[in-house]
Amino acid sequence: MKPEPYEQGLLKGLAEGDKRTIEIIYKDHYNMIQSLIINNNGSADDAKDIFQEALIVLYEKVRSGSFELNCQLKTYIYSVSKRLWLKKLSVNNRFVTAAEDPDSIYPVEDEITAHEKRDAEFDMMEKAIASLGEPCKSLLEAYYLKKQNMQVIATSFGYTNADNAKNQKYKCLLRLKKIFFAHYKNGMDHE
């Protein structure tokens, strides 16, 4: 079944990171996932984590340009959340009894595998940035993540001019790349 135009609109809004759209999706589906998690040995905090992770999976999917879910948004979120939660439960060796209902479950294995890989990469990046220490961490975050202007960064970090800040930034970036690729190659070797 194709998602209705309404849901496609939501997915487009999500891809753009539109706050209103995300609020609507959040409001419409959060309670469903919370009861799923709480009824299956989880807490409200677990529910929040799982639901947000499911939204990230969805976000990554629509970011890649695919707005076709082949099922209802609700079913998709439910299926992803359920798989994520079952995985988490089995990692923690907790007892799992959730019965599968084939009608309401949409196969999301591939998406979840891709999500896990990405998650591991992001985790790697986060750790690499954190291990840089200050001021490198903030400098790179300001330029590459917050996309601030070099001039602004120079002023706020206290560099005498933008060139110095830029120079420093490249030094930091070089370090970051080395740390990241060291981890990244290690990660690849493990697979």
Partner 1 sequence: MSELNMLETVERYIRGEMNPDERVQFEQLRKTNAEVDQLVVEHTFFLQQLNRFGEWKKFRHLLQFIHTDLAEKGSIQSNRLSGKARVIYLFNRYKRVSSIAAAIAVVTTLSISALVWTLAPASPHSQFEELNKKYSQLEYKTRKQASEIDQIKRSKTIPVDMPFTTGGTGFIIDPKGYLVTNAHVVSEARTIAIQNNLGEYLVEVVHIDKVRDLAILRVTDDNFKRYGALPYSISKKAGQLADPIFTLGYPRNEVVYSQGYLSARTGYDGDTLSCQIEISANRGNSGSPIINRRGEVIGILNGRQTNAEGFAFAVQGKYIYQLSDSLRNADPSLSIRLNGRSNISSLERSEQVKRIQDYVYMVKVN
- Does 145 sit near partner 1 (CB under 8 A)? yes
- Does 149 sit near partner 1 (CB under 8 A)? no
Of 65-73, 88-96, 103-111, 115-123, the segment contacting partner 1 by CB under 8 A is: 115-123
Comparing CB distances to partner 1, the nearer of 51 and 106 is: 51
Comparing CB distances to partner 1, the nearer of 121 and 152 is: 121
Q: Which amino acid, 132?
A: L
Smallest distance from partner 1 to CB 70, Å: 23
Assigned token pair, 70: 């082949």
Within residues 65-104, the interface with partner 1 by CB under 8 A covers none
Comparing CB distances to partner 1, the nearer of 105 and 180 is: 180
Q: Considering only residues 59, 78, 85, 106, which one is a binding residue for partner 1 as defined by CB under 8 A? A: 59
Q: Which residues contact partner 1 by CB under 8 A?
A: 17, 19, 22-23, 26-27, 30-31, 34, 44, 47-48, 52, 55-56, 59, 63, 118, 121-122, 125-126, 144-147, 166-167, 170-171, 173-174, 177, 180-181
